[in-house]
Amino acid sequence: MAQVETEVETKSLPANAYEPLKEGELYVPLVPTSASVPEITGRAVLWGTLLCIIFSVASAYSALKVGQGMEAAIPISILAIGLARVYKRRSTVLENMIITGMGGASGSVVAGAVFTLPALYILHLDPHPVQTIFICLAGGCLGILFLIPLRRYFVQEQHGKLPFPEATAITEVLVTGEKGGSQAKLLIQATVIAAVYDFFVTTFHVWKEYLNFQFVPLMKTLVDKNRMVFNFDAIGFILGLGYIMGLRIAMIFCAGGVLVNFVLVPMIWFLGSHMGNVTVYPATIPISHMTATEIYRNYVRFIGVGAIAAAGLVGILKSLRVVAGSFSIALHAFRHGEAQHTERTDRDVPIMAILLGVIVSALAVAVFYGQLHVTWIVLVMGLLLTLLFCFFFTTVAANAIAATANNPASGMTLLTVIVSAVVLLKFGLSGTTGMFFVMALAGMVCVALCVSGQFITDLKAGYWIGSTPSAQEKVKFIGVAAAAITAGLTIVLLAKAFQFGEAAPGDMRQVLVAPQASALKAVVEGFMSGQPVAYILFGIGAMVTVVLEMLGLSSMVFALGIYLPLQLTTPILAGGFVSHLVNKRADKTGGEHGRSIRERGVIVAGGLMAGGALGGVFGAGLRLLPKYREELIQTPFYNNEPISQTISAILFVGLCLYIWFSSVRGKKVA
């Protein structure tokens, strides 16, 4: 049957969009319930899938490189607005919502995947690509299935009571975007610039990617005599990431690296250099023989792991109130989920279809666990733990995102690893099989809670705009499938081209630090292998987190700064400073022009992140070719450190200026 299209005025949200409804008052969305507007169309599904794939690749590389993934939904919503004008019939706001929702699955699936799956490679368990994809897919599907019954409670019953910060931003972008699409052009321009820039600098010998300025005598002296090392990774996507994070968070992030490189490492060197040839556990060589990198690897990184683990536990404690109310929320939603609703804007996937989906997913997970050659009791307990954690943490994630836009994925996943390891050890699971089993379980749970947290954002934005919930729910499965396949294969590709965690002796491949997965690897290895653990170092890291929490600072951000190399946090700080300057100019300008400056800055930074990550991943693909060599493209000055590093620094400053001028020249919001 042909769909009757209704022209709908879509210029502004109703006045009560962000306010609690009065007694008897109803919310009428931007696109009314009675309107018949194109929603799930070929173009929407095509572009949603394509953008999901692109941003999955970019986000996976970004998260493994610096421990921070990409926020995909807002850039994709901007692109959707620009793409709407490509067609003779301009795409509707509901089609743009479908594109945004499908594409947004990239960030959530990747966030769950990179937090856990690289640990399998660090442990040298090397999962099959099909296993990697299945873990992502199963977790994503469970996250969607468990969230659907909660939709009505969160988006309708709590209307005006929960702020939904990210959903608000997406909604405003889509509504404002009905007026024009120049933002998409700016995003594409920045993406192309960063893709070309980062591709050449990370793939070939054109100029130095890492700056240490050790050609300056003072810097060289600090390294040789005090083990104080300054490093800077001069690439575009980290600059963009720092811009998005902002100055305050970037400073906390970089402060962790400053503590490591200019306090902890020099202090350990000072003490160890006076101890002769004495070896201090867990290292196997004397401190007096170590470089700054070896001191970090043997001692300081354990402090970082302890800080990250403690920060995750702090996140759990802060979420206790949400956790306590999660069961009642779920029971309330399921109790009212069977009612028949005929209105288009209040129509979910049938509850029986949801139950069937859960059963099929559970059977698939059981088959997956069975392939690991474990006992029946371990298989059953693992399946029960998977379903329990996925269901429980789905509500926790949805509530946390709705209230603060922060998903407590780190703390929830850490809790999953600890509880699962303790329980399954009681049933005889241990060794490498135990490590694989627990990390696979944690991977599914982490993907589920990340997907559910992002999906509740889509559903709320759709509620404000007037989308059909069942339509959003159906295409979300497509987006999750595309993201799971792409993220899984990207992780496999990067695992072949790079090392995860830390450099292995004799392996000359570059390292992607994968900080969260490295932290979880240390936890699960300690439980399952019976190896001695440097508890004092973990404890020092935990106490650093306690001190930060007492000071009211972001302990997880600082802990990641401790774990990550300084060369990754310093360019983030540079991006934060650029962000501060641009926003300061926007505040000074004020009005429509000031708002345009702020928006254009975010768009350019997002383009640098997307393009830089894509360029890096494409370079990683080239590394797998037999004839590839970094020297295929090499400038005459590459090995001249003063010239090569100086040129790299100048070009990085050029990227900063590009953000500045691209932002301040905007005179209106398109």
The better pLDDT of the pair 28, 491 is held by 491
* DSSP letter, residue 210: E
Pairing of strands 511-512, 232-233: unpaired
Ramachandran bin of 24, using left for φ above 0, alpha for ψ from -120 to 50, beta for the remaining angles:
left
Would you say residue 580 lies in a domain? no
**Residue 448: per-residue pLDDT:** 92
Q: What is the DSSP string of 577-614?
A: HHHHHHHHHHHHH-HHHHHHHHHHHHHHHHHHHHHHHH
**Residue 2: per-residue pLDDT:** 40
The better pLDDT of the pair 330, 369 is held by 369
CA separation for the pair 665, 474 (Å, rounded): 41
Cα dist. 384→137, 185, 380 in Å?
18, 48, 6
Question: Both tokens of residue 269?
Answer: 């060197």
**Residue 178: per-residue pLDDT:** 64
With contact defined as beta carbons under 8 Å apart, do 519 and 410 qualify? no
Cis peptide before 14 (omega within 30 of 0): no
CA separation for the pair 163, 20 (Å, rounded): 11
Using DSSP's 3-state secondary structure scheme, residue 61 falls into helix
Highest mean pLDDT among 100-104, 149-153, 160-164, 560-564: 100-104
Of 155-164, 318-327, 565-574, which gets the smallest average pLDDT?
318-327
CA separation for the pair 501, 514 (Å, rounded): 6
CA separation for the pair 557, 308 (Å, rounded): 9
The better pLDDT of the pair 515, 44 is held by 44
Would you say residue 79 lies in a domain? yes
User: Mean per-residue pLDDT for 594-601?
Assistant: 80
The model's confidence at residue 547, banded by pLDDT at 50, 70 and 90, is very high
CA separation for the pair 131, 121 (Å, rounded): 13
The model's confidence at residue 134, banded by pLDDT at 50, 70 and 90, is very high
* Domain count for the chain: 1
User: Mean per-residue pLDDT for 485-510?
Assistant: 77
Classify residue 405 as exposed, middle or buried by CB count within 10 Å of its CB (0-12, 13-18, 19+). Answer: middle
Would you say residue 255 lies in a domain? no
User: How many Cα neighbours within 13 Å face the side chain of 96?
Assistant: 33
Provide the percentage of residues in the chain whose pLDDT is more than 90.
16
CA separation for the pair 494, 595 (Å, rounded): 39
**Residue 1: per-residue pLDDT:** 37
Using DSSP's 3-state secondary structure scheme, residue 85 falls into coil
**Residue 10: per-residue pLDDT:** 46
The model's confidence at residue 582, banded by pLDDT at 50, 70 and 90, is very high
Ramachandran bin of 78, using left for φ above 0, alpha for ψ from -120 to 50, beta for the remaining angles:
alpha
- pLDDT surpasses 70 at 91: yes
Average pLDDT, the chain: 80
User: Mean per-residue pLDDT for 471-479?
Assistant: 91
Question: Both tokens of residue 481?
Answer: 């499938």
Phi, psi of 211 (to 5 degrees): -105, 130
- pLDDT surpasses 90 at 424: no
Provide the CA 271 distance to its chain's centre, in angstroms.
38
- pLDDT surpasses 60 at 241: yes
CA separation for the pair 413, 439 (Å, rounded): 10
**Residue 528: per-residue pLDDT:** 65
| Helix boundaries (H) for 283-405 | 292-295, 301-318, 320-335, 351-370, 376-404
SS3 letters across 215-281: CCHHHHHHHHHHCCCCCEECCHHHHHHHHHHCHHHHHHHHHHHHHHHHHHHHHHHHHHCCCCCCCCC
**Residue 6: per-residue pLDDT:** 46
Contacts of 651 (CB under 8 A, 6+ apart): 197, 207, 234
User: Mean per-residue pLDDT for 47-65?
Assistant: 82
CA separation for the pair 306, 165 (Å, rounded): 31
User: Mean per-residue pLDDT for 44-48?
Assistant: 90
CA separation for the pair 469, 428 (Å, rounded): 44
The better pLDDT of the pair 389, 625 is held by 389
Tally of CB atoms within 10 A around 202: 22
- pLDDT surpasses 80 at 485: yes
Contacts of 224 (CB under 8 A, 6+ apart): none
The model's confidence at residue 328, banded by pLDDT at 50, 70 and 90, is low
Amino acid at residue number 69: G
Amino acid at residue number 605: A
Question: Both tokens of residue 96?
Answer: 């743009």
Would you say residue 251 lies in a domain? no
- pLDDT surpasses 90 at 462: no
Of 316-320, 385-389, 496-500, 506-510, which gets the smallest average pLDDT?
316-320
The better pLDDT of the pair 195, 61 is held by 195
With contact defined as beta carbons under 8 Å apart, do 207 and 201 qualify? yes
CA separation for the pair 434, 568 (Å, rounded): 33
User: Mean per-residue pLDDT for 606-610?
Assistant: 76
Amino acid at residue number 429: L
**Residue 670: per-residue pLDDT:** 40
User: Mean per-residue pLDDT for 608-625?
Assistant: 73
- pLDDT surpasses 80 at 308: no
The better pLDDT of the pair 2, 463 is held by 463
Using DSSP's 3-state secondary structure scheme, residue 94 falls into helix
* DSSP letter, residue 156: I
CA separation for the pair 395, 390 (Å, rounded): 9
* DSSP letter, residue 631: G
**Residue 281: per-residue pLDDT:** 77
Pairing of strands 499-500, 511-512: parallel
Phi, psi of 468 (to 5 degrees): -90, 115
CA separation for the pair 648, 640 (Å, rounded): 12
**Residue 597: per-residue pLDDT:** 86
**Residue 669: per-residue pLDDT:** 42
pLDDT by residue (tens digit) across 628-662?
788 888 888 888 889 999 999 999 999 999 999 99
**Residue 8: per-residue pLDDT:** 47
User: Mean per-residue pLDDT for 460-485?
Assistant: 90
- pLDDT surpasses 70 at 36: yes
| Dihedral of alpha carbons 548, 553, 557, 561, sign | negative
Domain span at residue 408?
42-186+314-336+349-500
Would you say residue 372 lies in a domain? yes
Contacts of 645 (CB under 8 A, 6+ apart): 207, 208, 211, 212, 213, 215
CA separation for the pair 514, 120 (Å, rounded): 11
**Residue 26: per-residue pLDDT:** 78
Task: Please name the residue that has the structure tokens 């209307």.
Answer: 159
Intra-chain end-to-end CA distance of the chain, in Å:
37
Question: Both tokens of residue 385?
Answer: 């733990």
Using DSSP's 3-state secondary structure scheme, residue 36 falls into coil
- pLDDT surpasses 70 at 3: no
- pLDDT surpasses 50 at 561: yes
**pTM for the predicted model, two decimal places:** 0.68
